[in-house]
């Protein structure tokens, strides 16, 4: 069966919890009763949110699963659902990477309200970390450039250089300014920067990025769009 475009994931040893959450939020929820099974499949999912029970009645607990899910789903709200009134359990879950918690039995208004609040927070985090131009997505936090189904990981300095040029695209940035932002007060030769620019060019070609880097040796460096991007936007 084809997976819905928007869905949540529910990990609970009660298989009826996912349908309850789906009815309450109006969003389909994929039901899992095993943390091990969910972890094996998590990298292929991109859920709107994840609802995780603490006590799963098996060898692995919800607390064990949360750090792994957080590493995979960086911008996905992870909300604990538990009937345990132990404050330490909630504290441990939040420390492990959860964003919020809800006590069982679930109250519909509380669930929807907390989900909306956490989605807003995570979207703000995503927008701070990402720059989007047409079909190009650049994650500043991870140094990943994605264009459609192509992806490349930029080394730290190239990622920083790309961030500077993207945030100043269509404008000339002097080489002195670039060197200062990349290396601070450390003295570096001009060809050191040139090598980084050349490497960045190669990475962009690898993913067919609709951008080109122009170097005016009398003025500086400029990142330009290869062609008009009708519906481009920038968040960052």
Q: What is the pLDDT of residues 47-79, one digit of tens each?
A: 999 999 998 876 688 999 999 999 999 889 999
**Res. 1 pLDDT band, cuts 50 70 90:** very low
For 132-144, write each residue's pLDDT tens digit: 888 898 988 889 9
For 76-111, write each residue's pLDDT tens digit: 999 999 988 888 888 999 999 999 999 999 999 999
pLDDT value, residue 129: 81
CATH number of 8-129: 3.40.50.2300
State the average pLDDT for the chain. Answer: 88
Which whole-number Å values give the CA distances from 216 to 174, 183, 223, in the listed order?
Answer: 9, 21, 11
CA–CA separation, 50 and 35 (whole Å): 12
- Per-residue b or e along 9-39, where b marks 16 or more CB atoms closer than 10 Å to that residue's CB: bbbbeeeebbebbbebbebbbbbbbebeebb
| CATH 3.40.50.2300 intervals, the chain | 8-129
CA–CA separation, 119 and 99 (whole Å): 10
| Element spanning 223, H or E | strand 220-225
CATH class, domain 134-225, is mainly alpha
- Locus of tokens 């994650």: 139
For 148-206, write each residue's pLDDT tens digit: 889 999 999 999 999 999 989 899 999 999 999 999 988 888 789 999 999 999 999 99
| CATH 1.10.10.10 intervals, the chain | 134-225
| DSSP output for 127-196 | HHHEEEETTEEEETTTTEEEETTEEEEPPHHHHHHHHHHHHTTTSEE-HHHHHHHHHTT----HHHHHHH
Q: Per-residue pLDDT averaged across 228-232, rounded?
A: 43
What number of other Cβ atoms are within 10 A of residue 184's Cβ? 8
Q: Per-residue pLDDT averaged across 122-139, rounded?
A: 84
């Amino acid at each position: 069966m084809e997976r819905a475009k928007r869905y949540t994931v529910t990990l609970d040893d009660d298989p009826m919890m996912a349908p309850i959450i789906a009815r309450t939020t109006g969003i389909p929820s994929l039901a899992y009763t095993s943390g091990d099974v969910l972890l094996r499949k998590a990298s292929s999912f991109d859920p709107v949110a994840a609802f995780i029970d603490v006590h799963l009645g098996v060898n692995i607990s919800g607390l064990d699963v949360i750090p792994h899910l957080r590493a995979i789903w960086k911008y996905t709200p992870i909300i604990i659902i538990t009937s345990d009134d132990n404050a330490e359990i909630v504290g441990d879950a939040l420390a492990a990477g959860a964003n919020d918690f809800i006590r069982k039995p679930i109250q519909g208004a509380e669930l929807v309200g907390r989900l909306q609040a956490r989605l807003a927070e995570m979207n703000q985090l995503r927008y701070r970390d990402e720059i989007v131009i047409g079909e190009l997505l650049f994650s500043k936090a991870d140094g990943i450039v994605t264009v459609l189904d192509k992806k490349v990981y930029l080394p730290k300095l190239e990622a920083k250089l790309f961030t500077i040029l993207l945030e100043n695209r269509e404008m000339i940035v002097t080489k002195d300014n670039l060197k200062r932002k990349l290396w601070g007060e450390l003295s570096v030769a001009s060809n050191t920067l040139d090598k980084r620019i050349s490497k960045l060019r190669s990475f962009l070609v690898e993913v067919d990025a609709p951008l080109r880097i122009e170097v005016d040796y009398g003025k500086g460096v400029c990142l330009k769009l290869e062609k008009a991007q009708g519906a481009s936007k920038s968040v960052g």
